[in-house]
Amino acid sequence: MSAEVQSTLGQYGAQSALAPEGVGATAINGLTIGMTLAFGVIFVLLVLFVWAVLAGRLAAKTWWIWAGGIVLPLVSVGILIGFSTVTLQQITREDPKALVIEVTGKQFWWDVVYDPEGWALRDANEIIIPKDRPVTFRLNSDNVIHSFWVPKLTGKMDMIPGRVNTLPAMATETGRFRGQCAEFCGLSHPKMAFEVLVVEPEEFDAWMQRASGEARDAARSELTRGRDVFVEAGCPACHEIRGVAKGGDLGPDLSRVGGRASLGAGMWPMNQGTLAGWIADPQAMKPGAKMPAYNHLPGPDLRALSAYLASLK
């Protein structure tokens, strides 16, 4: 990846809808500014009207009450509803040629599948998309209601069990943008974040080619031991590593877990130490997480397993 993008790894930009870097967020920001200015003008007019009546400069006649209290609010709100409807249609209009990324809300992480009808490349907690290309997020949940929100890129959308919602997006700048679950979903709801990494289109195409292959092979004896511990400890029952263990989908795909900037859905920097802590006691790092503790592993095995997972990029 480019030096510009690498320099932002593990660093969140401002999580603000007022600093848009996507088509949807720009439209929402424009509507927000317009509505704020419009209501500001209306407020000033009403204050001047009340002042004029109280100061005796204006007779308090019935038609003023109708005009200022009924007609003006109805007309202004009607106009603003019209603009908001147009904006809503703009940010929810799907491009039939858009890249589809399926995101499933879990407790408490994000399951990501790129192009589910094609590549079907599975990942977790980090979403990589190309700049200036339309993307459609296909959103669902298999447990409780979650809400998918990347303030700098587009609006938010609920993830409802038994229902698939779609949210179009198109980033206009490269970089790393923080996303967040915006609907209370359980004990670790505040610890359910994610990152969207926006790269140049050719970078994205190259990444898709690389990421769809098998995970990096163990290059030294410690990593080989870590790979063996992964299999022997029963981790493949929940996790998949392409080329090593197949079929586990209860937990995140770990084929490139060491290449992600963060661990635990955006909560801790990705390194061998945090991986070892997570393996030993997930509940200490994220209360309510479904993964059991592996604190029974001997120290050498825990170090070898965490080193192996950190090497998967």
Between CA 14 and CA 23, with CA 17 as vertex, the angle to 5 degrees is: 110
pLDDT of residue 60: 59
pLDDT of residue 10: 41
pLDDT along the chain (313 residues), means of 10: 38 72 92 89 81 72 72 84 89 92 96 93 95 96 96 94 96 93 94 94 93 83 94 94 87 93 92 95 92 94 96 91
DSSP 125-151: SEEEEETTS-EEEEEEESSS-EEEE-T
Burial class (CB in 10 A: 0-12, 13-18, 19+), 179: buried
Q: How far apart are CA 14 and CA 154, in angstroms?
A: 14
Q: What is the dihedral of CA 284, 287, 291, 293, to 10 degrees?
A: 30
258 alpha carbon, distance to own chain's centre: 19
pLDDT of residue 70: 80
In sequence order, what are the residues at sequence separation of 6 or more whose Cβ sits closer than 8 angstroms to the Cβ of residue 22?
150, 152, 153, 154, 169, 170, 171, 172
Type and span of the H or E element at 203:
helix 201-211
pLDDT of residue 6: 37
| CATH C-level class of 221-310 | mainly beta
- Write phi, then psi, for 165 (nearest 5 degrees): -105, 150
pLDDT of residue 7: 33
Kindly list the strands in the beta sheet with 135-141, ordered across the sheet, starting from the edge strand earlier in the chain. Answer: 121-124, 110-114, 99-105, 135-141, 165-169
pLDDT of residue 45: 80
In sequence order, what are the residues at sequence separation of 6 or more whose Cβ sits closer than 8 angstroms to the Cβ of residue 282?
289, 291, 292, 293
pLDDT of residue 1: 46
99-105 and 135-141 strand pairing: parallel
Q: How far apart are CA 291 and CA 83, in angstroms?
A: 46
Domain 99-201 in CATH 3.20.20.70? The answer is no
Would you kindly state where each structural domain of the chain is located, as residue ranges?
Answer: 23-92, 99-201, 221-310
Give the CA distances from residue 86 to residues 31, 89, 96, 140, 167, in Å, rounded to whole numbers and listed in that order.
10, 5, 20, 26, 16
Give the CA distances from residue 269 to residues 122, 195, 227, 272, 307, in Å, rounded to whole numbers and listed in that order.
21, 12, 22, 10, 15
99-201 and 221-310: identical CATH topology: yes
